Amino acid sequence: MKCQYRKRCGRNYLVFFITIVLIISGAGAGRAKKVKLVENFYRSSCPPAEYIVRSVVNHFLSLNPGLGAGLLRLHFHDCFVKGCDASVLLDSITGQPLVEKDHPANNGSLRGFQVIDAAKTKLETTCPGIVSCADILAFAARDSIYKLGNIWYEQPSGRRDSTISLLTDVSGNLPPPFFNATQNAAIFANKGFNAVEMVTLSGAHSIGIAHCSSFASRLYPTVDPTMDRSYAAVLKRICKGDMAKTTVNQDGITPDRLDNKYYVDLIGNKGLFVSDQSMLINESMKKEVVKNARYGSDWSRKFVTGMVKMGKLGVLTGNNGEIRLNCRVKNTN
Ligand code: HEM
Ligand SMILES: *[C@@H]1O[C@H](CO)[C@@H](O)[C@H](O)[C@H]1NC(C)=O
Ligand SMILES: *[C@@H]1O[C@H](CO)[C@@H](O)[C@H](O)[C@H]1NC(C)=O
């Protein structure tokens, strides 16, 4: 009898609980209609959108593959600061507060802006006012990954562009190269990525360049003991004089191929930054590095998942933001 009573009671609680959950989620959906990104967002509004971006990217990358690295990093720096809203593309205006581009983490090292501009110009003649700069950047990063790594994925779209960019929003949101992997894991955690996902995404350092100033403290005055001695000697021969003007390839094995050789470099103590090499100090990150070095196609699958997730950070959708007509300036209205 008693047991029966308790059972009934338990079921009533369950029904009550489910009802409350339904009410809350229903009310939430009504209040803030959160629009999600979708694949093929421009299918009817601008059918050739993705094709146009891809052909522009392929053209520029066939002349200079390094621009693909630049585009991938641009997308990352866009998404980690205030979401993937193309705020990183806005130019500063004299007399107004400095923008994201002006931050030391960006100024002088971001590249690929001309590719975005060229794609935007083409898109504005084909479908004026339809395709956002944030989506162009996300497509361009995806297309660079394909061109340099032969890794393909559908890039969900429907992002809109911010009307503001501030240098002061950058600090604390972008991982510095002189932080160790534990410190940077905290920055990634703030964006919803765990340490394993950080290891996966860091594989992007398999392409592109770095300025000597980003790792000079590992060479001078004394060589970082966690760096391979002969690699340090090679770097010291390149990095002398103006550190801010000299660059090296990030991946010594296959500098223009987006592959898992970055992880092979790390195991050989040939990582460029403290942030790269210190992933070996943490046991779980080290395990992931070793797995990625060994199983390249597993890494590419994880990398795709990570990129799609990154591309959804803090996006503006629906009626929020605008479709910029020129990616470097907000619309006047
Ligand atoms: C784990 C934390 C990370 C740190 C500390 C970091 C830091 C850096 C630094 C300092 C540079 C070189 C800048 C220069 O001196 O010119 C660089 C380059 C680059 N980073 Fe990262 N990064 C991180 C994660 C990522 C992620 C998640 C991506 C993309 C998914 C990425 C993509 C790139 C690319 C492609 C380049 C080469 C850019 C070029 O050649 O123009 N990085 N990164
Ligand atoms: C960005 O870098 C350029 C060239 O090094 C320099 O002249 C300029 O002052 C820098 N901008 C800011 C805001 O620091
Ligand atoms: C990372 O840096 C922090 C702060 O300097 C330090 O406390 C920590 O021990 C370092 N972790 C590793 C794994 O080196």
Nearest CA, atom 5, ligand 2: 108
Q: Which of 61, 64, 76 to mutate to test the pocket of ligand 1 (most atoms within 8 A of CB)?
A: 76
Ligand 1 centroid to 161 CA: how many Å? 23
pLDDT in tens, 73-90: 999 999 999 999 999 999
Instruction: State the virtual CA torsion across 132, 134, 140, 142 in degrees, nearest 10.
Output: -120
Each residue's pLDDT tens digit, 191-243: 999 999 999 999 999 999 999 999 999 999 999 999 999 999 999 999 999 99
Smallest CA-to-CA distance from 239 within 261, 217, 270, 266 is with 217
Residue 104 C-alpha to ligand 2 middle, in angstroms? 8
Q: 291, 305 in Cβ contact below 8 A?
A: no
Which domains, ranges and CATH numbers included, belong to the chain? Answer: 49-169 (1.10.520.10), 181-310 (1.10.420.10)
What DSSP letter does each residue of 65-118 carry, written as one string? THHHHHHHHHHHHHHHTTSSSSGGGPPP-TTS---GGGSTTTTTT---HHHHHH
- Give the Cα separation of 194 and 288 in Å (integer): 12
Report the alpha-carbon angle 189-190-195, nearest 5. 10
- pLDDT tens-digit readout, 256-284: 999 999 999 999 999 999 999 999 999 99
Asked if residues 81 and 100 have their Cβ atoms less than 8 Å apart, the reply is yes
Which of 137, 123, 130 lies closest to 90, judged by CA? Answer: 137
**Dist. CA 249–CA 277, nearest whole Å:** 16
Is 92's C-beta closer than 6 angstroms to any atom of ligand 2? no
pLDDT per position as a tens digit, 121-149: 999 999 999 999 999 999 999 999 999 99
- Give Dmax over CA atoms of the chain in angstroms: 88
CA distance 212 to 236: 9
Q: What pLDDT, in 10s, does the model give residues 17-63?
A: 444 444 444 444 444 568 999 999 999 999 999 999 999 999 999 99
At residue 235, the 3 state secondary structure works out as helix
Question: Which are the catalytic amino acids?
Answer: 77
What is the 9 CA–ligand 3 centroid distance (Å)?
Answer: 52
CB atoms near residue 224 (< 10 Å)? 16
Write b or e for each residue in 184-194: b if 16 or more Cβ atoms lie within 10 A of its Cβ, otherwise e: bbebbeebebe
- If one residue of 96, 102, 107 were mutated to test the ligand 2 pocket, choosing by the most ligand atoms within 8 A of its CB, it would be 107
Q: Is the pLDDT of residue 291 over 70?
A: yes
What sign does the dihedral 263-209-177-243 (CA atoms) show?
positive
Query: Which two three-digit tokens encode residue 79?
Result: 């998404």
Read off the tokens for 32: 């803030």
Report pLDDT digits (tens) over 168-202: 999 999 999 999 999 999 999 999 999 999 999 99
pTM score: 0.92
